[in-house]
Amino acid sequence: MVFRQNLAQVEERIVRACQASGRRRDEITLVAVSKVFPAEAILEAYEAGLRDFGENYVQEFEGKHPLVKHLGDARFHLIGHLQSNKTRKAGELFQVVQTVDTPKLARRLNEVGRPLDVMIEVKLSEEDAKSGADPREIPQLVSEIGACPQLKLLGLMTMPPWDEDAEESRPYFRRLYAIAQEHGLKALSMGMSHDFEVAIQEGATHIRVGTALFGKRQRK
C-alpha cells in the first residue's frame, strides 16, 4: 500500500509541474528507479501500472531478471555507469542504456546484435567521480551511434551534482536542453526524487525517481 500512496504523490507532483509549465502529462515518462530493492518491488510497481524501470548495476539486475522478464511490455533502463566488459550482458538485459559516454561503448553495444535504445550521458559538472561525455564530445558520439545499425539514439541524460535545493539543478537541466536542441535530439532524461519538478519545467521527457517511490535505500 505504501508504494501506491507514494506513486499517487509522485503523480500529483508530476501533474502539477506539467500544469505549471504548459506541458502534457504524456510527454513525461516516469522511470521507477528500483536499484537496491528486490524484484518484488518491480512487480509491485508494475501491478500499479508502471512500465519503465531504472537499474544502476548490470550484475544486480541480472539477479532480478528471471523474476521480471515475463513482464513483456516493461522497459528496463540502465542508468548507472557501464563498464565495457559488461556491455554484452547489458545489451541482453536492458531495453534502454541511458549511459553511453564513449564511442567504444556504443560500438560494443551494437556488436551485441540486438536492437537497443540508447541515450548519451553528458557530464556537465567538473566533479571527478561522475561519468558521462564532455559536451564537446557529443557531435562525435552522435555520429558514431548513427553508424551503429542496432542502436537508436533517443537523446541525452544527465545527473547534476547532488544538492538538496532543487533550484541548484536548474542550470544543468537548462544546459542539457540546449545541447539536445542543437543536435535535434528529443529525449531528455533528467530529474530525480527531489528535483524532478524543475526538470519538467526545463523540458525533461524522462524523470528517474527512486526514493520518492520506493522509500530510502538501505545500502550502496
Binding residues for ligand PLP restricted to 19-38, rule: CB under 6 A:
33, 35
The single-letter code of the amino acid at 203 is G
**Is 211 near ligand PLP (CB under 6 A)?**
yes
- Residue 7 binding ligand PLP, by CB under 6 A: no
Q: What is the distance of C-alpha 65 from the center of its chain?
A: 18
Using CA of residue 112, residue 117, residue 123, residue 129, what is the dihedral sign?
Answer: negative
Indicate the residue type of 36.
Answer: V
- Selected range binding ligand PLP among 12-20, 103-111, 197-205, 207-215, rule: CB under 6 A: 207-215
Task: Please report how close the Cβ of residue 208 comes to ligand PLP at its closest, in angstroms.
Answer: 4
Q: Please, how many CA atoms are within 13 Å of residue 120, restricted to the half-sphere of its CB?
A: 31
Using the contact rule CB under 6 A, the part of the chain among 84-92, 112-120, 164-172, 203-211 near ligand PLP is: 203-211
| CA 213 to mean position of chain CA atoms | 15
Q: Which of 6, 56, 102, 169 binds ligand PLP (CB under 6 A)?
A: 56
Do the Cβ atoms of 91 and 127 come closer than 8 Å?
no
Shortest distance, position 121 Cβ to ligand PLP, whole Å? 9
Q: Quote the CA–CA distance of 38 and 23 in Å, as a whole number.
A: 33
Report helix, strand and coil shares of the chain as percent, to nearest 5.
Answer: 45, 20, 35
Least Cβ distance, residue 210 to ligand PLP (angstroms): 3
Q: Indicate whether 208 belongs to the interface with ligand PLP (CB under 6 A).
A: yes
Shortest CB 196 distance to ligand PLP, Å: 8
Is 192 an interacting residue with respect to ligand PLP (CB under 6 A)?
A: yes
Q: Give the CB-side neighbour count of residue 157, counting CA atoms within 13 A.
A: 28
Binding site for ligand PLP (CB under 6 A): 33, 35, 56, 79-80, 159, 192-193, 208-212
